[in-house]
Amino acid sequence: MRFVVVIPARYASTRLPGKALREIGGKPMLQHVFERGSESRAMEVVVATDDDRIAEAAESFGATVCMTSDQHRSGTERIAEVADVLAWTDDRIVVNLQGDEPAMPATLINQCAALLDDTSADIATLASPLLSDEDFDDPNVVKVIRDVQEHAIYFSRAAIPHPRESKRRQLAISTALHHHGIYAYRCGVLRRFVAAEPSDLEVCEQLEQLRALSLGMTIRVGVPAERPGTGVDTEDDLQRVQQELSI
Query: Given this model, what pLDDT does residue 11 score?
Result: 87
Residue 36: predicted pLDDT: 96
Residue 131 has pLDDT above 90, yes or no: yes
Residues 104-114 have pLDDT tens digits of: 999 999 999 99
Q: 92 CB contacts (<8 Å, ≥6 apart)?
A: 3, 4, 83, 186, 187
pLDDT at 166 over 80: yes
**What integer is the mean pLDDT of 17-42?**
93
If you count them, how many residues does the chain have?
247
Does residue 15 carry a pLDDT above 80?
no
Q: Which residues contact 90 (CB under 8 A, 6 or more apart)?
A: 186, 187, 188, 191
The pLDDT score that the predictor gives to residue 19 is 87
pLDDT at residue 81, as a whole number? 97
Count CA atoms closer than 13 A to 24's CA, side-chain side.
Answer: 30
Confidence of residue 232 (pLDDT cuts 50, 70, 90): confident
- Does residue 188 surpass a pLDDT of 70? yes
CATH number among 3.40.630.30, 3.40.190.10, 1.10.132.50, 3.90.550.10, domain 3-244 = 3.90.550.10
Contacts of 195 (CB under 8 A, 6+ apart): none
pLDDT reading at 12 higher than 80: no
| pLDDT one-digit tens code per residue, 30-53 | 999 999 999 999 999 999 999 999
Task: Report the pLDDT value the prediction gives residue 162, as an integer from 0 to 100.
Answer: 95
Give residue-wise pLDDT tens across range 71-122. Answer: 898 999 999 999 999 999 999 999 999 999 999 999 999 999 999 999 999 9
User: What is the mean pLDDT of the segment spanning 135-140?
Assistant: 94
Predicted TM-score of the model (pTM): 0.94
